[in-house]
Amino acid sequence: SSSSSSSSSSSPDIVVMDANEDWGIIPAENLVAAYASSASTRLFARVRDATSARTMLEALETGVDGVVLCTSDPKEVRAIDAILREHFASRDDGRVDLVAATVTDVKRVGAGDRCAVDACVNFAQGEGMLVGSFASGLFLVHAENVECGYVNVRPFRVNAGPTASYCAAPDDKTAYLSELKAGSEILCCDSHGRTRVANVARVKIERRSLVLIEARVKTTGARLAVLLQNAETVRLIRATDDRQPVSVAQLTIGDDVLVAVNDVARHTGVAVDERAWDER
């Protein structure tokens, strides 16, 4: 069912569709498509819980313009608040500040349990995940979507390093790679610092040879480190005008790469204000 109203001649009409438990996804997508080109009408969905709200907000990717939540459960209100914040933030590209760090050492360190993170989306060229040994500074690790002649590309994958490494998560948080699993949310980032949220499809943990890369931030001198699989398909991104990916197998001392610096302590992934802390 639907209804419409207009508060003034300059305000858009609001059409509310009742997305109850008998409502299918295809009818919702049909309505989203029908109103997509309308500048004078906004489409809202009446839902009973946060899960239904997310489905409506993601219908045909663009989703409805808003939701009307009908519930007496405060947990659903809080859940839908988080979903709405994430959804409408993702419509406006999030952004992190990327800076240059100069590589000071590249050395093999033996084998370890490394995580290949497969996302529910394909990464674009120049895009990947922010990963590092220290939460205070994460390296932009490029997705495995670059042709190399050795293996087929995996446009959905970031070979992210050992399980103990940090990765950037939504809402200015970090997560250990060991915590990621199917359905987890990760923060994707491109070479210009534009970010988006994606879900994890799976995480593959396998014993692989690793390489340690150490670098110093050019502006502050802060020391950062990241461990990655020692393979031609694993790449960082150069901090040059063209921002091209560079394989860890070709990385040399003196190269500048892109990193995101966040000089705060972390507790369970959340930034906290601590005066005495160190990572090394």
Q: What is the pLDDT of residues 144-192, one digit of tens each?
A: 999 887 788 999 999 999 999 999 998 888 999 999 999 999 999 999 9
Euclidean distance between CA atoms 211 and 196, whole angstroms: 28
Least confident of 5-19, 32-46, 178-192, 264-278: 264-278
Please state the rounded mean pLDDT for residues 247-258. Answer: 96
Helices (H), the chain: 25-35, 50-57, 74-91
pLDDT over 70, % of the chain = 84
Report how far residue 83's alpha carbon sits from residue 155's, in angstroms, rounded to the nearest whole number: 26
* pLDDT for residue 39 is more than 50: yes
DSSP secondary structure, 52-75, as one string: HHHHHHTTTTT--SEEEE--S-HH
Mean pLDDT of 125-152: 92
Q: Which residues contact 201 (CB under 8 A, 6 or more apart)?
A: 118, 119, 120, 156, 182
Which pLDDT belongs to residue 276? 47
Bridge partners of residue 132, in order along the sequence = 166
| Amino acid present at 11 | S
At 176, the amino acid letter reads: Y
Indicate the residue type of 59: A
Mean pLDDT value across residues 246-261: 96
The pTM score is 0.70
Nearest to 180 by CA among 196, 195, 165: 165
DSSP structural state of residue 177: G
Q: What is the pLDDT of residues 195-241, one digit of tens each?
A: 999 999 999 999 999 999 999 999 999 999 999 999 999 999 999 99
- Write out pLDDT tens, residues 76-108: 888 888 777 766 655 445 789 999 999 999 999
Find the distance separating the first CA and the last CA of the chain, reported in whole Å: 60
